[in-house]
Amino acid sequence: MNFQQLMSILSARSGWIVLTLFVVTGVTAAATFFVLPKTYSATTSMMISFKSNDPFGQPGFAVPQSPGYVATQADIVSSHQVALEVVKNLAWADDPRAIELFNKETRGRGSLDDWLADKLLKKLEVRPARESRVIEIRFSWTDPQFSARVADAFAQAYIDTTSALNADPARRNTGWFEQQLKKLRGDVKRAQEKLTAYQQKSGIVGASGERMDTETQRLAELTTQLTAAQAQVYEVKSRQLGENHPQYRRALANEAALQRPVAEQKARILRLRKQYDDIAMLTREVENAQRIYDAAMQRADQTSLESQSPQAGASILSKAYVPTEPSSPKVVLNLALSVLLGLALGVGVALGRELADRRVRTVRDIKLDLGLPVLGVLQKGRA
């Protein structure tokens, strides 16, 4: 079949094409205006932050600035957990119409909240921007006011959910820090008690310098006296008075009497120095335990504030407004598609009718299909 034959068939069967076109277009128009439900779409936009909120005024850590991060936040928006939060915030599970629809479609099987959350997600569209930090949340429903409420509710539920996700590790750490602080307080107490017990046992309470100076001065005095006694012995001995001479014996006795106090004083100073060293070590243990406890206490306070501080990393850029025009069905698009479909079906019907009732349309049909020569052609409307 060449183009001339096709055009002759379509011209002869044009009534069927027009009829099919009118039927398809009419059915589509009727369905668009009277059958298909009108849905209204509302859009809320959010801006994602690439820095975390720090409740202590410190610079927030930078989040990797990649499309993957924004896409991840979009996945969170469209997650079942966020949808459950929306159902809860809207108190949709308490709506008698929602309960009736749930019982009708599921016969009461399953969770109402989960079923409603899935219902919302089917009408939700989350579109992250390619080269910006903006995420659009688009929700479509038959009620325009409900569409706007749900779109805004998804944005708020996302903020609440991410805040909870960010604060949850801090809450768990708060409990761990409480246990550690209890243990560290015990360490400080035991170190202090150990230091106090040693001070009571040694009798050392004041500063180390005062007593050491006193004992050292005492040793210096005894050493001076011993040196003088030894010099007296040397002097008497140099006079060759003999070992039994009273002066020599008194000098030796005086020297011997001073040697023992000097040795005892040296031992006392060494023992005192060791005690002060032990006290210094115990004092450092107390200070270290206190320092660790103070650092842990400071970190515990920070963690406690982090667990109570909202750290969503997003803010609502623009809230949804109540749409006045339905987003679907799209009248112009549906009618345009119906015209194309009607023409295609009309051509198909025309060709089908032609195959069922084959007729001669052109001279070529006589020559090729019948194999007969053409003697002449009579033009319609001419003599």
Structure tokens at 78: 């469209």
pLDDT digits (tens, 9 = 90+) for 119-156: 999 999 999 887 788 999 999 999 999 999 999 999 99
CA 70 vs CA 74, 85, 310: distances in Å: 6, 21, 19
Does residue 169 have a pLDDT over 60?
Answer: yes
> Between these two residues, 108 and 58, which has the higher pLDDT value?
108
Closest by CA position to 311, among listed 58, 21, 2, 139: 58
Q: CA-CA distance, 136 to 123, in Å (whole number)?
A: 14
Provide the whole-model pTM: 0.56
Which pLDDT score, from 0 to 100, does residue 65 have?
53
CA 262 vs CA 212, 227, 253, 255, 266: distances in Å: 15, 11, 15, 11, 6
Three-state helix/strand/coil letters over 293-313: HHHHHHHHHHHHHHHHCCCCC
Does residue 215 have a pLDDT over 80?
Answer: no
Which pLDDT score, from 0 to 100, does residue 335 have?
81
CA angle 169, 170, 175 (to 5 degrees): 100
Q: Which residue has the tokens 């202090």?
A: 192
Confidence of residue 54 (pLDDT cuts 50, 70, 90): very low
User: What's the alpha-carbon Rg for the chain, to the nearest Å?
Assistant: 51
Does residue 204 have a pLDDT over 80?
Answer: no
Instruction: Determine what percent of the chain is predicted with pLDDT higher than 90.
Output: 19
The mean pLDDT value for 240-263 works out to: 73
For residue 277, count CB atoms less than 10 angstroms from its CB and return exposed for 0-12, middle for 13-18, buried for 19 or more.
exposed
The sheet carrying 134-141 orders its strands as: 124-128, 134-141, 40-48, 314-318
Closest by CA position to 262, among listed 218, 201, 317, 306: 218
The mean pLDDT value for 320-343 works out to: 85
Going from the N-terminus, what domains does the chain have, and what CATH number goes with each? 1-36+339-383 (no CATH), 38-167+312-338 (3.30.1890), 171-308 (1.10.287.620)
Helical ranges in 60-207 per DSSP H: 67-77, 80-90, 96-106, 112-122, 144-202
Is the separation of the CB atoms in 254 and 229 below 8 Å? yes
Q: CA-CA distance, 28 to 32, in Å (whole number)?
A: 6
Peptide bond before 59: cis, by omega within 30 degrees of 0?
no
The mean pLDDT value for 193-220 works out to: 74
Q: CA-CA distance, 6 to 351, in Å (whole number)?
A: 9
Q: CA-CA distance, 263 to 265, in Å (whole number)?
A: 5
The mean pLDDT value for 349-357 works out to: 77
Highest mean pLDDT among 65-69, 205-209, 305-309: 65-69
The mean pLDDT value for 293-307 works out to: 76
Which pLDDT score, from 0 to 100, does residue 57 have?
43
Which pLDDT score, from 0 to 100, does residue 60 have?
44
Cβ-Cβ contacts under 8 Å for 193 (sequence gap 6 or more) = none
Which pLDDT score, from 0 to 100, does residue 80 have?
94
> Between these two residues, 183 and 247, which has the higher pLDDT value?
183
pLDDT digits (tens, 9 = 90+) for 37-46: 788 999 999 9
CA angle 211, 216, 219 (to 5 degrees): 130
Q: CA-CA distance, 117 to 98, in Å (whole number)?
A: 12
Please, what is the average pLDDT of the chain? 79
Dihedrals phi, psi of 378, to nearest 5 degrees: -100, 120
